[in-house]
Amino acid sequence: MKKLIFIVCLAFCICKVNGQTSTVVIRPVATDSNKKTPVVKGVKTRIIDGIQMSSAYDAVENLSRSKAHTMLMKAILISGLSETLKSKGPLTIFAPTDNAFKKLNSNALDTLLKPSNNEELTKLVSYYIVPGKLKSKEITKQIINNKGEATFITLSGAKLKAKINADRNIILIDENGNESIVSQFDIEQNNGIINIITGLLTPKSK
């Protein structure tokens, strides 16, 4: 019988943004002494950009571990949506990578992250969140059932469309016609799903 090692200490990720401190709790996981992957019954794990994400954790806990989503996490903390993303859900997050955020010029990004633009930032971050649990099969099913185009209402209240392109990739289309490929699907969280996207999507300005 394999010996189990239990990590009994809680790890805390403490982020200070605009003078406010937000703490993300990383809960302990049982591991096999011969393996790095958790052996907790019923827990699903995925290696995303070299970092292990686990369905034992919520979306904020997993995203805070990712080296490829530091800008998204910063935006989540500044916008004040971290508690929403730690809620029971379920929620689907279409998570843009840091490379996606780099498509914005640095001045535009710095401006967006200022406290005076919090309303706009909150609207942007909530545009990547859809109530419910949207796995790739469900997205594909909705695309097929709606004659090639599915429409989702995001947490911001704005619409996000999905199609399948000529290369058989699922792409998301924002209200301004910008497109982004969904590069990784069905990353399980204890409160929903994360699907990773390669580009930034924005709701139409009113």
**Residue 57: count of CB within 10 angstroms of its CB:** 23
Q: What percent of the chain has pLDDT over 70?
A: 80
Confidence (pTM)? 0.79
**How many independent structural domains does the chain possess?**
1
| Per-residue pLDDT, 206 | 67
In a domain, 53, yes or no: yes
| Per-residue pLDDT, 83 | 95
| 116-144 average pLDDT score | 96
In a domain, 58, yes or no: yes
Count, residues in the chain: 206
pLDDT digits (tens, 9 = 90+) for 78-101: 999 999 999 998 999 999 999 999
Mean pLDDT of the chain: 83
| 60-74 average pLDDT score | 94
In a domain, 170, yes or no: yes
In a domain, 205, yes or no: no
* Cα 190–chain centre separation: 13
Res. 67: pLDDT tops 60? yes
Question: By residue range, what is the domain housing residue 29?
Answer: 4-197
